Amino acid sequence: MSVPAHSRVTDVVETPVTTPARPRHRSDIEGLRAVAALLIAVYHIWFGTVSGGVDVFLLLTGFLITGSLVRAMERNGRIDFAAFWTKLVKRLFPAGAVVLGAVLVMTYLFFPRSQWTTVIDDVRAAVLYYGNWHLATGSVDYMADNSAASAVQHFWSLAVQGQFYLLWPVLITVAGFVAVRLGVRVRHVAFAAVGTVFVVSLAYSLWITATEPVWAYFDTGARLWELALGGMLALVVHRVNLPHALRMIAGWLGLAGLVLCGLVIGDSVPYPGFASLWPTTAALLVILAGAGENANGRLSANRLLGVRPLTWLGGHAYTLFLWHWPVLIVYLELTERVRPSMTGGLLVLGSSFAAALFTGWVIEGGVTRATRNLRTPSWSLAAGVIFIIPVLAAGSLWAHSIEQDRQTRMELSSNPLSYPGAAVHLNQETAAVLPELPIHPDTTTVAKETVDQTRSCNAVAEDTEVVSCEFGDPDSDYTIAMVGSSHVRHWFQAMRTLTDQHGWRLVTLTKNGCQFSSEEQLYRGKAYPECTAWNADVMTELAELVPDAVFTLASLTSREEDEHVPAGFVDRWHLLDRMGVDVLAMRDTPRFDFPVPDCVDRNDRDQCSSPKAESMAEEPPFKDLTNVPHNTRFLDLTDYLCEDGVCHGVIGNQLVFYDTDHMSYAFSRSLAVVMEPQILDAVGQAVPQGEPTLFDAAMTLREGQHP
């Protein structure tokens, strides 16, 4: 999707920038691309919603590439795969690599360390054109869902197009061979093949959007129908010649529908699914209105789209699309705003356009001119690839440096006296002389490291079936089940340390955003039937497992409402009481209004704290709770997270939270020492004579040594 400043719609390759040869020059298509790019930028900058512009780009890609490939097949009896792909590489890679390289530089200069690894991974995925799958797989874990939007998130659509460019020449070639064998026109078989892709992909898109909307947004299979729709249109548009009145209506209706798409759809409707039919249909109407003889009448929408300013802007649509998002993300980072003001938005748009023009000038004035006489596929390929090699190399070297720093912190953290975490509270004298060392875990990797340790043992939001894992001694005569949401899940390291110490068996039964409760629940403001089904299955699982105790939440904290004990929690405790199962109910943890790692990277660690009262009650809400069954024992470690009414983001040289409200794996593990006495008391387990506890070992170490 790159475009030179002088590029015409008669070029060989299509993206939002370049287009294949057509029998008749369609300047209105270049103008349509300009409108789509502007809508994407405007809706992203000021409204934060989908605009339908990307859908238009996909449809235009299918329209122009399919027509070009079929004409090549009809003309030559074959498609020159090498020439097709290498020209794409030469046109698309340089501009994309320039922007991605700039993103790496801006990330180093303006973004906190906690985001570095994510950006490096995102840039690598974008360079290699699998960014859509990278985002899809990274968006399904609730505990990993609090990070800021990636500065290269918009490259997902380029990845979809890149995958289309690999598939489509093969599809059209097969259609050509079949046409020869059957003795029919290539165009007819190609239409059948593309139509089949359209039907299958659209059906899949509707289904996956309804069942897994986050995944569907990035899924190539859920987007192929948009490209196929453009392809089908390319194969029949030459037969279309609408009456003047109908052409006028179709053109203006399509253009108005496209402009209004983002306002009408917003973010409340699952996407793509049925909603994406709006912008694709609008673009289809515009293309049909411009087909045939004398299509651009004096008052037609297509004539407006063909005016020189719009066609000129359409020539820069690709680079404008590439730049607008990272410029917006940097602006929001520097201003700490959620959405730009009118003036700020104009600054973002103007800066993006200036960067787009400069990039086009560099590419066209440098690469294209220097390689103008190098027309062989190998030279075209080299001209494109040479840009991405420095980006990949820079990302790899930077990642290596981050890993070295992480290893250094790991080695330092092996000394429990220097990195006590929650155990720092066991000895005030030691705490007073504890030196400030590099924080562990490293903010650049803590989120991934923490989530990955339990990712395969956790049900994501879309799941209804229970996912369970077992740890510790499988033959132990004492079993504890951890049941609930991510705020149960982040106690895993503490619980596993305890169960390993005492030879117990630990079973995990957790699900994203789903409390262990009898009440109907919401997920991101919507009904959460998957949680209801999961809760029912969990009760069945517990009835079969019959653990000695269930570890779950005793309360819910929030920055929007007071800390409380939901009635559904108590209902579950009563059910477990009737099953003869004890309940270890842990008080919920505080919630910050900022990502703690980001704060630590930007400020002194002492500034990364939050008043306890902003998310927690002064006294535990279960303190005076009535109707509590006899099997329930309450646990409260708030004093090890908050001191004198202030909750800290760094304690004992350890990072407490890896986002706004989920504990890091290292700090969770450090809590095992202070949790142990409460757990042992709650379960009534006596430690065998002479067997040391974690607490005893920690106290002995602290009293005998100093950092």
- 296 in the Ramachandran plot: left (φ > 0), alpha (ψ -120 to 50) or beta? beta
Asked whether residue 317 is assigned to any structural domain, the reply reads: yes
Whether residue 22 lies inside any domain: the answer is no
Query: Cβ–Cβ contacts within 10 Å for residue 101, how many?
Result: 18
pLDDT category, 278, cuts 50, 70, 90?
very high
Burial class (CB in 10 A: 0-12, 13-18, 19+), 543: exposed
Q: Look at phi and psi of residue 258 and say left if phi exceeds 0, alpha if psi is from -120 to 50, else beta.
A: alpha
Single-letter amino acid, residue 67: G
Q: Is the pLDDT of residue 15 over 60?
A: no
Instruction: Say yes or no: 459 and 388 in one domain.
Output: no
Which pLDDT does position 699 carry in this prediction?
Answer: 55
* pLDDT tens-digit series, residues 663-694: 999 999 999 999 998 999 888 765 555 566 66
Taking 80 as the threshold, does the pLDDT of residue 22 lie above it?
no
In this prediction, residues 129-148 reach a mean pLDDT of: 70
Cβ-based neighbour number of residue 405 at 10 Å: 15
pLDDT at 4: 33
List, for residues 369-393, the tens digit of each pLDDT value: 656 665 666 666 776 788 899 999 9
6, pLDDT greater than 70: no
pLDDT for 220 equals 96
pLDDT value for 587: 97
pLDDT at 547: 95
My answer on whether 391 and 450 are in the same domain is no
How large is the C-alpha radius of gyration of the chain? 30
Partners of residue 655 on adjacent β-strands: 650
Confidence tier at 436 by pLDDT (50, 70, 90): confident
Span 75-91, average pLDDT: 87
Task: Quickly list DSSP for 526-586.
Answer: EE-HHHHHHHHHHHHHHHHH--SEEEEES-B--SSS--B--HHHHHHHHHHHHTT-EEEEE
Query: Is the predicted pLDDT of residue 525 greater than 70, yes or no?
Result: yes
What are 92-123's pLDDT values in tens digits? 888 999 999 999 999 999 999 988 999 999 99
Residues 379 and 453 in one domain: no
Q: Three-state DSSP class for 698?
A: helix
DSSP, collapsed to helix, strand or coil, labels residue 178 as helix
Give the per-residue pLDDT at 60: 96
Task: Kindly indicate the confidence band of residue 8, based on its pLDDT and cuts at 50, 70 and 90.
Answer: very low
State the average pLDDT over residues 3-12: 30
To which H or E segment does residue 597 belong? helix 596-602
Q: Are 165 and 171 spatial neighbours (Cβ–Cβ below 8 Å)?
A: no
Same domain, 484 and 381: no
pLDDT band, very low/low/confident/very high, at 571 (cuts 50, 70, 90):
very high
CA 679 to chain centroid: 37
Q: How confident is the model at residue 207 (pLDDT cuts 50, 70, 90)?
A: very high
Report yes or no: 206 and 276 within 8 Å, Cβ to Cβ.
no
> Where among 395, 418, 434 does a domain terminate?
395
Q: What is the span of the domain harbouring residue 498?
A: 444-594+615-637+665-702
Q: Which stretch of DSSP H or E encloses residue 481?
A: strand 479-484
Does the pLDDT of residue 334 top 70, yes or no? yes
Residue with tokens 């985001």: 115
Neighbouring CB atoms inside 10 A of 674's CB total: 21
pLDDT of residue 414: 83
Angle between helices 53-76 and 277-289 (to 10 degrees): 50
What are the two backbone dihedrals, phi and then psi, of residue 445, each rounded to the nearest 5 degrees? -125, -5
- Residue 352 clears pLDDT 80, i.e. is over it: yes
Q: What is the pLDDT of residue 696?
A: 61
Residues 230 and 310 in one domain: yes
Same domain? For 493 and 353 the reply is: no
Average pLDDT over the chain reads 87
Residue ending a domain, among 372, 395, 418, is 395
Q: 469 and 362 share a domain?
A: no
Is residue 415 within 8 A of residue 687, CB to CB? The reply is no
Q: What is the mean pLDDT of residues 79-86?
A: 89
Whether 374 and 520 map to the same domain: the answer is no
- Using CA atoms of 654, 657, 663, 664 in order, give the dihedral in degrees to the nearest 10: -50
The answer to whether 272 and 210 are in contact (CB under 8 A) is no
Q: What is the pLDDT of residue 9?
A: 27
Q: 652 or 699: whose pLDDT is higher?
A: 652
Tell whether the model's pLDDT for residue 83 goes beyond 90. no
In this structure, what is the dihedral angle of CA atoms 212, 216, 217, 222, given to the nearest 10 degrees?
-160
Q: Mark whether 384 and 464 lie in a shared domain.
A: no
- On the question of pLDDT at 329 being above 60, the answer is yes
Tell me whether residue 5 is in a domain.
Answer: no
| Shared domain check, 487 and 621 | yes
Q: Is the pLDDT of residue 469 over 60?
A: yes
pTM above 0.95, yes or no: no
The whole-number pLDDT of residue 431 equals 64
Residue 10 confidence class, pLDDT cut points 50, 70, 90: very low
In a domain, 97, yes or no: yes
Specify the higher pLDDT residue, 204 or 86: 204
pLDDT computed for residue 572 by the predictor: 97
In the prediction, which pLDDT does 16 show? 42
Q: Does residue 11 belong to any structural domain of this protein?
A: no
* CATH code: domain of residue 571: 3.40.50.2300
pLDDT > 70: what percent of the chain? 88
What pLDDT sits at residue 692? 62
Q: Looking at beta carbons, which pairs linking 172-176 to residues 24 or more positions away fall under 8 Å?
A: 172/66, 172/69, 172/70, 172/73, 172/79, 173/73, 173/78, 173/79, 175/73, 176/73, 176/77, 176/78, 176/79
According to the model, what pLDDT value does residue 607 have? Answer: 92
What is the pLDDT at residue 19? Answer: 38
User: Does residue 199 form part of some domain?
Assistant: yes
| Residues 290, 220 share a domain | yes
The 8-class DSSP code of residue 657 comes to B
- Is residue 430 in a domain? no
SS3 336: coil
Q: Which residues contact 639 (CB under 8 A, 6 or more apart)?
A: 425
Specify the DSSP class assigned to residue 304.
H
* Paired sense of beta strands 526-527 and 522-523, if any: antiparallel
Higher pLDDT, 614 or 426: 614
Is there a domain that residue 645 lies in?
Answer: no
609, pLDDT greater than 90: yes
Q: Which pLDDT tens digit goes with each residue over 492-509? A: 999 999 999 999 999 999
Instruction: Quickly state the pLDDT bin for 3 (edges 50, 70, 90).
Output: very low
For range 188-207, the mean pLDDT:
97
- Give how many domains the chain has, as a whole number: 2
Same-domain status, 278 and 353: yes
Residue 152 has pLDDT above 60, yes or no: yes
Q: Among the listed ranges 278-282, 510-514, 677-681, which one has the minimum average pLDDT value?
A: 677-681
Q: What is the pLDDT of residue 147?
A: 46
* Residues with Cβ within 8 Å of residue 123, at least 6 apart in sequence: 100, 103, 104, 152, 391, 395
For residues 623-652, average pLDDT:
93
Contact yes or no for 38/206 (Cβ under 8 A):
no
**197 Cβ neighbours under 8 A, 6+ residues apart:** 171, 224, 225, 228, 231
Which alpha helices (DSSP H) does 111-155 contain, by range? 116-127, 131-138
What is the C-alpha separation between 45 and 31, in angstroms, rounded?
21
Q: How many residues does the chain have?
A: 707
